[in-house]
Amino acid sequence: MSLIAIDALRKSYGSNEVLKGIDLKIEKGEVIALIGKSGSGKSTLLRCINGLETINEGAITVGGQQLVNDELHLRNLRQKVGMIFQQFNLFPHKTAGQNVMLAQQVVKKKPKAEAEAMARRMMERVGLADKFDSYPDQLSGGQQQRVAIARALAMEPTALLCDEVTSALDPELVAEVLQVVRDLAKEGMTLVMVTHEMAFARDVCSRLVFMHQGRIHEVGRPEEVFANPKTPELRSFIGMAH
């Protein structure tokens, strides 16, 4: 059974339909990149999987459980699926370490010592062990994003959703974040990411999903997709990206 199964998903804002029937199955351990022009619906799709957007039609199943839009179900879902945002969204009133500890204590009801031990391990994992007591505004964008990744990892999710995690970063900070994501992929974490880093996507991903105007246009292994795009839309998109 697939880890994440999306079935005939439709989503609109008012009269504007942004997802027009999406079917996608994601297996455990897969690394998937959603690519496409802005406005193609890829970010919305990602946000639907985390329940940040309510869907109009269709179904999303995660780990065999259908996504239902009530607080209890969402809470369960979100403990299994973590999310990293373009704007990091760290809690500015908490130190990096506290950012990583908070949800463990509040949501998982872990004792403080245990949460802290886990937080220190995760900060180590993203290479920021020495920034445990720094506040977000004392960190660079790249460091903030790595804390955000540590924060999601501390919840021990089975999958991570990454929404353009390097788009808000200065160019020289992109590499450090991508390295962390690359390591996660290597360790077998299931990743679904929206990204504009085509070289990175080609390197790391097991499958590419090309979206266009709210539909999935092409799916395939990166080398196939890049080497021979079947549709003119993808051809022109790849042309633009290079």
Partner 1 sequence: MTQFTLSAIVMALIHATGWTVVLSLVSFAGGGLLGLVLLFARIGKSRWLQILVKGYTELFQGTPLLMQLFLAFFGLGLFGIDVAPWVAATVALILWTAAFLAEIWRGCVTAIPKGQWEASASLGMTYFEQMRHVVLPQALKISIPPTVGFSVQVVKGTALTSIIGFVEVTKAGTILANATFQPFTVYGLVALIYFCLCFPLSYSAKVLERKMNVAHRH
Question: Does 89 engage in binding with partner 1 (CB under 8 A)?
Answer: yes
DSSP 40: S
Q: Single out the residue of 71, 130, 172, 187 in contact with partner 1 (rule: CB under 8 A).
A: 71
Cβ(142)–Cβ(136) below 8 Å: no
Question: Does 137 engage in binding with partner 1 (CB under 8 A)?
Answer: yes
Q: Single out the residue of 6, 11, 42, 78 in contact with partner 1 (rule: CB under 8 A).
A: 78
Pick left, alpha or beta for residue 109 (phi over 0 → left; psi -120 to 50 → alpha; otherwise beta). Answer: left
Question: Does 102 engage in binding with partner 1 (CB under 8 A)?
Answer: yes
Number of Cβ atoms within 10 Å of the Cβ of 75: 11
Cβ(17)–Cβ(32) below 8 Å: no
Question: Does 90 engage in binding with partner 1 (CB under 8 A)?
Answer: yes
Q: Single out the residue of 11, 42, 125, 151 in contact with partner 1 (rule: CB under 8 A).
A: 151
Choose one: 35-43, 81-89, 110-118, 223-231; the region binding partner 1 (CB under 8 A).
Answer: 81-89
Query: Residue 170 CB, nearest distance to partner 1 (Å)?
Result: 14
Q: Which two tokens stand for residue 65?
A: 């459980």
Site string for partner 1, 24-63 (x = CB under 8 A): --------------------------xxx-----------
Q: Single out the residue of 4, 62, 96, 103 in contact with partner 1 (rule: CB under 8 A).
A: 103
Q: Which is nearer to partner 1, 93 or 242 (CB)?
A: 93
Question: Does 87 engage in binding with partner 1 (CB under 8 A)?
Answer: yes
Question: Does 189 engage in binding with partner 1 (CB under 8 A)?
Answer: no
Nearest to 81 by CA among 101, 97, 60: 60
Q: Which is nearer to partner 1, 137 or 172 (CB)?
A: 137
78 vs 90: CA distance, rounded Å = 17
Q: How would DSSP label each residue in 110-161?
A: --HHHHHHHHHHHHHHTT-GGGTT--GGGS-HHHHHHHHHHHHHTT--SEEE
Query: Which residue in the block uniquely carries the two structure tokens 């999303």?
Result: 60
Pairing of strands 215-220, 16-26: unpaired
Question: Does 107 engage in binding with partner 1 (CB under 8 A)?
Answer: yes
Contact positions toward partner 1, by CB under 8 A? 50-52, 71, 74-76, 78-79, 82-83, 85, 87, 89-93, 102-103, 106-107, 137, 148, 151-152, 155
